[in-house]
């Protein structure tokens, strides 16, 4: 009996191990690897700086990366035209990118998701009013709108965040409104009305949980767009202002030295590309996982 029990326990352990590794293989490893450096640098940036990102050193301007001739391992990625450490500035730029992406996208979601739910559930003049506002916003290109906002109220971190909120809220409202139009016709919503549930309770307990998967996917996909908008308006001088560090600012400052010091704008461009790619891949993976039809396939 002891041998049979031990054999059964061993078989269960092996099955559990195989199930665990099968689930691990399904994780989005590529997006995780692409986004992990940004998250780590964004959260623990002040403890990771090799040098002060704003410290100017005129003794070491435009020093190449350490693996090139003339490089120094104390400046792994080299220095910019003012002798500032590029690795430290990239880490600081990751903090700015993380703050802008998270606050901007979540702020837009806080406005757009309730607006879409209310428009789709109630319909009538509320739906017409909110959707006409969405149509007006959608008629203006996102980059142009952010440029107008930044030019009107000045550059800075909070200007970029407010611009992203204004640009993105309509996307949430439009998608959520379409889902809410379908959900309000479901039998469980009719039963909730028969049970004399308030509209607020129906929206909170019956409509929103069925929209959560769509909202999570949309939020993830919007992170990459937010980074591109932040880098774009910073590049033209209307976003993050010096002496702060931002990836778009590094590209703008280094474009004049592209022929002689290519590393100044290149590493920032690579960071933007990989981060946006990771956010988009994570959004695609979440869409496949959270969609019941795709999950069954």
- 18-70: pLDDT as tens digits: 565 565 567 778 888 999 999 998 888 888 888 888 888 888 888 888 888 88
Asked if residue 8 belongs to a domain, the reply is: no
Asked if residue 214 belongs to a domain, the reply is: yes
Residue-range definition of the domain harbouring residue 126: 30-296
| pLDDT, position 126 | 85
**More confidently predicted of 5 and 112:** 112
With 90 as the cut, is the pLDDT of residue 275 above it? yes
Least confident of 14-28, 119-133, 140-154, 241-255: 14-28
| pLDDT, position 4 | 46
Neighbours of 43 (CB within 10 A): 13
**More confidently predicted of 28 and 279:** 279
| pLDDT, position 12 | 57
| pLDDT, position 3 | 47
With 70 as the cut, is the pLDDT of residue 14 above it? no
Asked if residue 2 belongs to a domain, the reply is: no
Asked if residue 23 belongs to a domain, the reply is: no
Asked if residue 143 belongs to a domain, the reply is: yes
| pLDDT, position 10 | 59
Asked if residue 53 belongs to a domain, the reply is: yes
User: What's the whole-number mean pLDDT along residues 131-160?
Assistant: 85
Of the pLDDT bands very low, low, confident and very high (cuts 50, 70, 90), residue 272 is very high
| pLDDT, position 8 | 52
| pLDDT, position 259 | 83
With 50 as the cut, is the pLDDT of residue 77 above it? yes
Work out how many domains the chain is built from and give that number: 1
CATH of the domain at 119: 1.10.3720.10
Asked if residue 22 belongs to a domain, the reply is: no
| pLDDT, position 105 | 92
Q: What is the pTM of this model?
A: 0.84
User: What's the whole-number mean pLDDT along residues 115-127?
Assistant: 87
| pLDDT, position 15 | 60
- 181-195: pLDDT as tens digits: 888 888 888 888 888
CA distances from 183 to 170, 186, 272 (A): 20, 5, 38
Asked if residue 16 belongs to a domain, the reply is: no
| pLDDT, position 292 | 58
């Amino acid at each position: 009996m002891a041998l049979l029990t031990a054999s059964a326990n061993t078989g269960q352990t092996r099955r559990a191990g195989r199930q665990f590794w099968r689930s691990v293989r399904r994780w989005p490893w590529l997006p995780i690897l692409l986004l992990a450096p940004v998250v780590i640098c964004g959260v623990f940036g002040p403890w990771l700086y090799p040098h002060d990102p704003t410290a100017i050193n005129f003794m070491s301007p435009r020093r190449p990366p350490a693996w090139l001739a003339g490089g120094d391992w104390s400046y792994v990625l080299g220095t910019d035209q003012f002798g500032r450490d590029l690795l430290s500035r990239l880490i600081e730029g990751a903090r700015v990118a993380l703050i802008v992406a998270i606050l901007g996208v979540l702020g837009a979601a806080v406005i757009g998701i309730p607006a879409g739910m209310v428009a789709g559930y109630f319909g009538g003049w509320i739906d017409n009013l909110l959707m006409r506002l969405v149509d007006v916003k959608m008629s203006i290109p996102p980059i142009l709108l952010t440029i107008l906002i930044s030019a009107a109220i000045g550059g800075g971190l909070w200007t970029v965040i407010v611009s992203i909120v204004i640009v993105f809220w309509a996307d949430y409202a439009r998608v959520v409104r379409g889902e809410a139009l379908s959900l309000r016709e479901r039998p469980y919503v009719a039963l909730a009305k028969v049970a004399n549930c308030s509209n607020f309770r129906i929206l909170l307990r019956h409509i929103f949980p069925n929209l959560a998967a769509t909202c999570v996917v949309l939020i993830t996909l919007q992170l990459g767009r937010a980074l591109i908008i932040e880098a774009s308006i910073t590049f033209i001088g209307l976003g993050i202002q010096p002496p702060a560090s931002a990836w778009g600012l590094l590209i703008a400052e280094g474009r004049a030295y592209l022929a002689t010091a290519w590393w100044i704008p290149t590493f920032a461009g690579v960071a933007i590309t990989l981060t946006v790619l990771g956010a988009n891949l994570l959004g695609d993976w979440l869409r496949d996982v959270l969609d019941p039809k795709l999950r069954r396939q």
